[in-house]
C-alpha cells in the first residue's frame, strides 16, 4: 500500500475505512464516505519518480509545482544566497523529496496558521542541510491552507529523490549558495526530481 499511498495517510485511511464499514453495517452504503475515501487516496497518492540526473552536484526539484520566485537574499546564517520558491497545488502530489544527497544538521519547526497570506504567520519548517560535497543550504516548507500539520521524516540523511515530508499544498523555498547555477526560470512548471540546477 505504501508504494502508492503516503505513509502519512495510514491513520486517516484506517479511520475512514472503519467508519465507512460501521456505517454500511448499521445504516447502509454511504456514498459520501466512499467518495471521501477516494478523495483521501487521491490526495495522498505517491507518484513513481526516477532520478535521471546522477551528478552529485545536481539540485533536483523537491516537489511537483510552479516556480513562483527566484531572488537573491541575505540570510543571517547562510549569508548571501539564492532563494528559489516552488508552489505545490492541492491537485499535485504532495510528497516532498530530497533535492540532493543531504544530511540534516538542524531543523526548526515554527507553529502558526495554515494558508495565511502573510508567510511570517504560517506554520513552517526550516531545515539546515549539507550535501555530500560539504555545500551548506537550507529548505523552508510553508504549510498550505489544506494542511493541518507538516509531516516530516525523522531520518537525518537522505538520498536524492527520497521521501522526506508530506504536505497538501505547501510552498517550498530552497536557499542555495549564491554561486549556484540554475537551469530553470520563473513560472516554469517542474516535476519532482527534475533538474533545477547545479552546485558550483
Selection from 177, 123, 120, 173 nearest residue 145 by Cα: 123
Cα–Cα distance measured from residue 199 to residue 100, given in angstroms and rounded to the nearest whole number:
10
Task: Characterize 28-40 residue by residue with b for buried, 16 or more Cβ atoms within 10 angstroms of its Cβ, and e for exposed.
Answer: eeeeebeeebeeb
- Report residue 154 as a C-alpha cell: 525523522
- Position 169 scores a pLDDT of 82
Instruction: To the nearest 10°, report the CA torsion of 28, 31, 34, 40.
Output: -150
Q: For residue range 37-86, list pLDDT tens digits in order.
A: 888 888 877 777 788 788 889 999 999 999 999 999 998 888 999 999 99
User: What is this structure's pTM?
Assistant: 0.82
What per-residue confidence (pLDDT) applies to 40? Answer: 83
Give pLDDT, residue 149.
64
Q: Which residues of the chain have pLDDT under 70?
A: 1-3, 8, 113-120, 145-149
Amino acid at each position: 500500500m505504501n508504494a502508492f499511498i503516503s505513509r502519512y495517510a495510514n491513520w486517516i485511511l484506517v479511520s475512514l475505512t472503519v467508519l465507512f464499514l460501521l456505517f454500511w453495517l448499521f445504516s447502509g452504503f454511504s456514498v459520501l464516505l466512499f467518495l471521501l475515501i477516494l478523495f483521501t487516496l487521491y490526495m495522498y497518492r505517491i507518484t513513481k519518480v526516477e532520478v535521471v540526473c546522477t551528478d552529485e552536484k545536481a539540485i533536483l526539484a523537491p516537489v511537483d509545482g510552479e516556480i513562483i520566485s527566484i531572488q537573491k537574499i541575505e540570510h543571517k546564517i547562510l549569508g548571501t544566497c539564492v532563494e528559489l520558491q516552488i508552489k505545490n497545488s492541492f491537485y499535485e502530489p504532495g510528497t516532498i523529496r530530497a533535492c540532493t544527497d543531504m544530511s540534516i544538521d538542524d531543523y526548526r519547526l515554527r507553529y502558526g496558521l495554515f494558508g495565511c497570506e502573510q508567510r511570517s504567520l504560517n506554520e513552517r519548517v526550516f531545515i539546515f542541510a549539507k550535501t555530500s560535497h560539504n555545500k551548506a543550504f537550507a529548505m523552508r516548507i510553508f504549510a498550505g491552507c489544506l494542511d493541518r500539520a507538516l509531516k516530516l521524516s525523522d531520518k537525518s540523511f537522505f538520498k536524492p529523490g527520497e521521501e522526506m515530508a508530506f504536505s497538501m499544498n505547501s510552498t517550498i523555498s530552497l536557499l542555495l549558495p549564491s554561486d549556484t547555477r540554475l537551469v530553470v526560470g520563473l513560472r516554469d512548471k517542474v516535476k519532482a526530481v527534475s533538474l533545477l540546477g547545479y552546485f558550483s
